[in-house]
Amino acid sequence: MKRIALLIIILGCIFHHPIFSQTVYPDRFIVSQEGDGDFRTIQEAVNAVRDLSQQQVRIYIRKGVYREKIVIPSWKTNISFIGDGTGQTIITNADYSGKPYTDTVDAFGKKAFTTYNSYTVLVQGNDFTAEGLTIQNTLGRVGQAVALHVEADRVVIKNCRLLGNQDTLYTATENSRQYYVNCYIEGTTDFIFGQATAVFQRCTIHSLSNSYITAASTTPRQAFGFVFLDCKLTADKEATKVYLGRPWRPYAKTVFIRCHMGPHILPQGWDNWRNPANESTAYYAEFHSEGPGAHAAARVKWSKQLTEKDIESYTLKQIFNYQDPWNPTTNK
């Protein structure tokens, strides 16, 4: 009996050793509206990811129209959304600035949504990626209505469609680095806006009406704001007078490099948002724009045409490595 008791104690000690007691957390979930996955909604899958995860967790979102308002909070890190394609996996909502709450007042004493919480998807958790899906706000043309709102750092959006009207994509917070590649982004007014350092590479930027594409609010502390690399600027037929951008805040920085611009882009290119003082602080520049909207000689005098030497600093490494090393092409 003593030997049996001793054996039980020894085995207990062995199996309570940390090497045996570590919990294994899933690194993938499947969301399916058909019920053949782990969850039926995307938010349920996000909630199931281990808090402060240090491994990348892939959430495969099968085809369907997901009518959700999704929040990825700051403690849900290293999450990837992988869809079945932009025409198959669609995340949609229709909140907008001014939409009344239902019998409630928010923490700020407001009775209605604002631009900042009108999003369809809010990303606050670092190291987020999305690929092969559509995020849209279907409100229509009645005010600010965000599709994707990103506050996190080290975010990659690849092969996605971001659809809305005014304020489609909110690239928020000055410490956020965001990389959009091979994406389609459409809207009416200021439909790419915010503080973040964001690169758009080989993206199609589509204007739906006469207005402004960008409204950066870059801070004086940032070396880069919005950088468009090898993008294509297109428009609906009704959009014939479109500005490249205007400064939401005085130190806005926006640069277009080797972009093809349709005839909807106005010759002057940039607007000072009814404040001439912005002309001495905003940084608006281009390099080798092409197409019928590329009017280098006609641009406002306070914008810049970059040289070969200037664009040597416009590499992903230099744009994104200002606070710590990050290579978005490997997401490391």
- Please give the positions annotated as active site: 167, 190
Look at the chain and count its residues. Answer: 332
CB 293 within 8 A of CB 233: yes
Cβ atoms within 10 Å of 85's Cβ, excluding its own: 14
Quote the CA–CA distance of 151 and 130 in Å, as a whole number.
15
DSSP calls for 277-293:
GGGGT-EEEEES-BSTT
Closest CA to 286 of 315, 316, 311: 311
CB 280 within 8 A of CB 308: no
Walk across the sheet containing 243-245 and list its strands.
70-72, 121-123, 148-150, 169-171, 192-194, 212-216, 243-245
